[in-house]
Amino acid sequence: MSKIHYTKPSIHDLEVKYATDAAKNGWGENCYQYILRFEEQFKKYLGVRYAIATSSCTGALHMGLSALGIQQGDEVILADINWIATVAPITYLGAKPVLVDIDPNNWCIDPAKVIEVITANTKAIIATHIYGNLCAMGELQAISEQYGIPIIEDAAEAVGSEYQSIKAGSLGTFGVFSFHGTKTVTTGEGGMFVTNDAKVYEKVLTLSNHGRATNQEKQFWPSMIGFKYKMSNIQAAIGCAQVERIEELVAKKRAVFYYYENKLSHIKEISMNEQSALTKCSYWMPTIVFAEQLNIDRDKLLTCFSQQNIDARLFFWPLSQLDMFEDKPDNVNAYSISKRSINLPSYHDITEPEMDRVCLIISSFLKNSKDVMAVR
């Protein structure tokens, strides 16, 4: 039985062509050729003024927070449901992550919970568009204006998502994206920092080049301690091809989600990624949440997938459950939803028969679970 992977990239001849050209010719005076091209293409797609290609989304977030002056003793609010990469850069700068609960519908940061924890030390709010779902950006922007706190968009998983027809990542003080091999658009590893703020852009641009300012006339003369978070020219070449295909890549992700949604619509005890009247989700990871009353054994379900040679992913753990952070059991939605959710296989070229295999396992597992419950 053929293996169904939970994700893999869509690499065509165009990516190979550009990467080969970068490997052969992208040196010397051409060493930034594809990087600059990738940045131009991406900022045009998003509709932003500035973009900086980076070696990772984590690095982009680290530099952005640093550019805002985040430091020891400051607090940054973010959702308890996040991958570690979102919270790690806060700790790099000696600041304190403040973990709040999620909205049970979109699984993103709950604006009402944000207001409850704002203090004089709050210096930023990170809005992570989890699995391509959109945060309640209108409410978060209102909080930002009321308290004078910048909103940072972690759009690592949300390329192609939109809030009121505006692309995710372009709504905050700055946004960051991931091009990891699992993402809708990939460069293997890599990220992008985007903003419309000229001062923030110039600071991050300097930080990204070991602290060397673009207007510095002295060679090898840094004006501050910076970082080394540059993307390689070869990675950017793959990125250029991916951005040329971006509408196709996002459309395929949406098509995969809609197929799953239709095939599973008869199961009333599950819910999937939310798309509201204000948003358009790119569905990076089609995700199912089982009703609490089912008391689902998620590990047993994942074993069923594995036995049928199918990959599935866990929903992210609450960060506050990790050893590095203080427990936050009051974040009831984060703790509950994490235990009863999984991500479904969703690579671009997955076939309908393969998705049918996935859906059959879910249906059979639920039927067997209900039969067991009935016997009890």
Q: Residues 129, 222: one domain? A: yes
**Co-location of 264 and 299 in the same domain:** yes
**pLDDT > 90? residue 38:** yes
How far apart CA 46 and CA 159 sit, in angstroms, is: 9
User: Is position 192 within any domain?
Assistant: yes
> What per-residue confidence (pLDDT) applies to 229?
95
Contact residues for 92 (Cβ-Cβ < 8 A; gap 6+)? 62
Q: Where are the alpha helices (H) located in 209-270, listed in sequence order?
A: 233-244, 246-263
C-beta of residue 130 within 8 angstroms of C-beta of residue 82: yes
Whether 144 and 258 map to the same domain: the answer is: no
For residue 69, the model assigns a pLDDT of 97
Q: Is residue 282 part of a domain?
A: yes
Last residue of a domain, one of 244, 275, 308: 244
190 and 263: one domain?
no
In-domain check, residue 2: no
Looking at every residue in the chain, the average pLDDT score rounds to 95
**Where among 217, 244, 271 does a domain terminate?**
244
Q: For residue 94, tell me if it sits in a domain.
A: yes
Contact (CB, 8 A) for 57 and 176: yes
pLDDT at 92: 98
Say what percent of the chain tops pLDDT 90: 93
Asked if residue 150 belongs to a domain, the reply is: yes
- Rounded-to-integer distance, Cα 67 and Cα 198, Å: 12
Q: How many CA atoms lie within 13 A of 93 on its CB side?
A: 28
- Write the CATH number for 340: 3.90.1150.10
My answer on whether 82 and 224 are in the same domain is yes
Q: What angle do CA 236, 241, 242 make, to 5 degrees?
A: 90
Helix (H) or strand (E) holding 60, with range, is helix 57-67
Residue 188 clears pLDDT 60, i.e. is over it: yes
Over residues 4-30, the mean pLDDT reads 97
Does residue 3 lie within any of the structural domains?
no
End-to-end CA distance of the chain: 34
Residue at 116 is within a domain: yes
Q: What is the pTM of this model?
A: 0.96
Calpha distance 330→312 (Å, rounded): 28
The domain in which residue 29 lies consists of: 13-99+107-244
Residues 214 and 153 both lie in one domain:
yes
Q: Is residue 186 domain-shared with residue 252, that is, in the same domain?
A: no
Q: Which DSSP state fits 373?
A: H
Alpha-carbon distance 159 to 139, whole Å? 21
Give pLDDT tens digits for 213-226.
888 888 888 988 99
Count of CB atoms situated within 10 Å of the CB of 126: 26
- Tracing tokens 């060493």 back to the chain, one arrives at 31
Q: Between vectors from CA 184 to CA 280 and to CA 339, what angle results, nearest 5°?
A: 75
Nearest to 176 by CA among 139, 224, 229: 229
* Other residues' Cβ atoms within 10 Å of the Cβ of residue 351: 11
Mean pLDDT over 231-253 rounds to 98
pLDDT at 374 over 80: no
Sheet of 270-272, strand order: 270-272, 287-290, 341-343, 313-314
- Percentage of the chain modeled with pLDDT above 70: 98
> Do 126 and 156 meet the contact criterion of CB atoms below 8 Å apart?
no
Q: Which residues does 152 contact at the CB level (< 8 Å), separation at least 6?
A: 61, 64, 65, 124, 125, 126, 127, 172, 173, 174, 175, 176
Tokens of 306: 């594995």
Same domain, 178 and 47: yes
pLDDT of residue 370: 61
Our count of domains for the chain comes to: 2
* 373, pLDDT greater than 60: no
CATH of the domain at 191: 3.40.640.10
45-97 tens-digit pLDDT:
999 999 999 999 999 999 999 999 999 999 999 999 999 999 999 999 999 99
Q: Which residues contact 74 (CB under 8 A, 6 or more apart)?
A: 93, 95, 96, 121, 122, 123, 124
Residue 215 and residue 257 share a domain: no
Q: Find the range with the poorest average confidence among 33-37, 125-129, 273-277, 285-289.
A: 273-277
- In our burial notation (b when 16+ CB lie closer than 10 A, e otherwise), range 274-288 reads ebeeebbbbbbbbbb
Out of 154-158, 280-284, 366-370, pick the least confident: 366-370
Considering the domain architecture, whether residues 191 and 321 belong to the same structural domain is answered as no
Q: Is residue 1 part of a domain?
A: no
Q: Same domain, yes or no, for 254 and 177? A: no
Give yes or no: residues 113 and 178 share one domain. yes
Q: Which of residues 244, 270, 287 is at a domain's end? A: 244
Residue 371 has a pLDDT of 53
Q: How far apart are CA 355 and CA 177, in angstroms?
A: 28
Give the phi and the psi of residue 86 in degrees, each rounded to 5.
Answer: -80, -35
Q: What is residue 191's predicted lDDT score, i.e. its pLDDT?
A: 98
Using DSSP bridges, classify how beta strands 313-314 and 151-154 pair: parallel, antiparallel or unpaired. Answer: unpaired
Structure tokens at 81: 């449901």
